[in-house]
Structure 1
Amino acid sequence: MFNPSREQVRQFFCEAWRKYRERAILEGAEVTAADLIRHHPEYHALLENPALALEQEFTPESGQMNPFLHLSLHLAVAEQISIDQPPGIRAAYQALRTRLDVHAAEHAILECLGEALWRAQRQGGAIDAAAYLESLRRVARACSQ
């Protein structure tokens, strides 16, 4: 399993954004990352300053969302949808898309993924895929009402 360091994750997003802005060839996950970054203009200035991006801390006390965590969760959701893993996530996404635009649907899934990760961390185990999918289905049902 790929387990990049904090610095590697930050460098990846900064580099994908740099290449996008310079119209350089994007490779693999950089294509998705650049598209995600385009939809988050609030992160552009930070990503355009790699030195700051590498050193800046994002703590709960600061009240700031960690942009690298946010973008990484987006990237994970995009991958999950593309390979339908866990099975059923693509259908849940499509149900959300009947009421929400792409970005809003991804954000709804992102919230469920964040909660599933938090629970797994607290319990010291793996993500409960069934509970994650049920959470997604609840959100999709709520959006359709």
Structure 2
Amino acid sequence: MFDPSQADVRRFFCGAWRKHRAAEVLTPLEAMALDWILEHPEYHEDLADVERALAADYGGDAGRTNPFLHLSMHLAISEQLSIDHPTGIRAAHEALAHRHGSAHAAAHEIMECLGETVWRAQRERTQPDGQAYLDCIRRRARG
């Protein structure tokens, strides 16, 4: 199982952004990450300096979204959609995208469910409940 450290994640996203700006070849995963980086210009400055990114504190007291967590969740959801796992997430995403008129807005709706699912699993010290996650997404898709 891939278990990157916080520093690994920050280096990955900063590296993808650096490679894009330098017109270097991206790996497939970096290209997927870049799609989300481009959707979030508000994070470009955070990604421009890897040393500053490694030192940054995005704790609850920081008063802003952690760009690396946000982009990581986008990437996780993209991976789930690519393999339709949990089964049905792709159809639920399409319904959300239709409802909102935006695949990006749909991903943000799914992100809320993903965050809740991970939080609940951590609180209860269990594995994430894939069915509860999918049910949350489907409820949001129905409006």
Normalised to the residue count of structure 1, the TM-score between the two structures is: 0.95
Q: Aligned equivalents of 2:42 and 2:97: distance in 1?
A: 24
Residues 1:58 and 2:58 are matched in the alignment = yes
Q: Aligned equivalents of 1:25 and 1:102: distance in 2?
A: 26
Match of 1:23 in 2: 23
- Give, in angstroms, the shift of residue 97 of structure 1: 1.6
- Give, in angstroms, the shift of residue 46 of structure 1: 1.1
- Give, in angstroms, the shift of residue 36 of structure 1: 0.4
- Give, in angstroms, the shift of residue 7 of structure 1: 0.6
How many corresponding residue pairs? 142
Gaps of 5+ in 1: none
Q: Aligned equivalents of 2:95 and 2:49: distance in 1?
A: 38
The alignment partner of 2:71 has SS state of helix
Quote the sequence identity (%).
53
Residues 1:129 and 2:126 are matched in the alignment = no
Gaps of 5+ in 2: none
Normalised to the residue count of structure 2, the TM-score between the two structures is: 0.97
Match of 2:98 in 1: 98
Q: Which stretch has the larger CA shift, 89-98 or 73-82?
A: 89-98
Q: Aligned equivalents of 1:50 and 1:25: distance in 2?
A: 19
Runs of 4+ in 1 over 2 A off after TM superposition: none
Q: Aligned equivalents of 1:111 and 1:134: distance in 2?
A: 12
Partner AA of 2:16 in structure 1: A
The alignment partner of 1:118 has SS state of helix
Q: Aligned equivalents of 1:13 and 1:62: distance in 2?
A: 20
